[in-house]
Amino acid sequence: MIQGSSLNKKVSHSSSSTHTTSSSTNSISSAHAVPSSASSSSINAASLSTQAIKATKQKSPLLEEPWQTLQDCAQKVSQKRSMPCLEYDLSSMSETRAGLFQHAYDSLLLFQDNGEDIVTLKDAFVALSCTMNLSGPNLKSYFSKEILELAAHDTELLNKQNKIANLLEPFHENLCRNDLDISKLLQFAVKRKAELMEAGQDNEMEGKITDIIECLCRFIASPEMRVEEPFSEAEVVDIWRSIFKILLRDTNVYIKSGETVVIAAKGVQEILNKEFGDHSTYGRKADMLFKSKSELCNFEFKAEGTPPSEMLIQNRKNIRLNRCILEHLRRLGVSRPRIVFADFQGFSGCVFLLQSFKDVYTSKCIDYLSVPRNATELKELLRDGDLIASLLAIMKHLLDSEQEGAAFFKLHLSQSHQI
Confidence of residue 127 (pLDDT cuts 50, 70, 90): very high
Q: Of 168, 79, 149, nearest to 121 (Cα)?
A: 79
Q: Do 327 and 263 share a structural domain?
A: yes
365-375 pLDDT, tens digit per residue, is: 999 999 999 99
Q: How many CB atoms neighbour CB 417 within 10 A?
A: 6
Task: Give the DSSP per-residue string, 264-318.
Answer: -STTHHHHHHHHHTS--SS--EEEEEEESSSEEEEEEEE-TT--HHHHHHHHHHH
The mean pLDDT value for 189-214 works out to: 93
35-67 pLDDT, tens digit per residue, is: 233 333 333 433 434 443 344 444 566 667 888
Assess if residue 36 is contained within a domain: no
Q: Do 264 and 121 share a structural domain?
A: no
Alpha-carbon span 354 to 364, nearest angstrom:
7
| Full domain range(s) for residue 284 | 165-180+228-418
Backbone torsions φ then ψ of 15, nearest 5 degrees: -75, -20
Q: Do 129 and 173 share a structural domain?
A: no
Assess if residue 50 is contained within a domain: no
Model confidence at 125: pLDDT above 70: yes
More confident residue, 245 or 403: 245
Range from 169-173, 202-206, 376-380, 412-416 carrying the lowest mean pLDDT: 412-416
- What's the total number of domains in the chain? 2
Identify the H or E element spanning 70. Answer: helix 67-78
Assess if residue 264 is contained within a domain: yes
285-291 vs 254-260, strand pairing mode: antiparallel
Model confidence at 34: pLDDT above 60: no
Assess if residue 330 is contained within a domain: yes
Q: Do 172 and 133 share a structural domain?
A: no
Q: Do 310 and 241 share a structural domain?
A: yes
**Do 122 and 316 form a contact (C-beta atoms < 8 A)?**
yes
Range from 71-85, 199-213, 238-252 carrying the lowest mean pLDDT: 71-85
Assess if residue 49 is contained within a domain: no
Confidence of residue 157 (pLDDT cuts 50, 70, 90): low
pTM above 0.85, yes or no: no
Confidence of residue 269 (pLDDT cuts 50, 70, 90): low
Q: Do 249 and 150 share a structural domain?
A: no
Model confidence at 265: pLDDT above 60: no
Name the residue type at position 122: K
Q: Do 251 and 352 share a structural domain?
A: yes
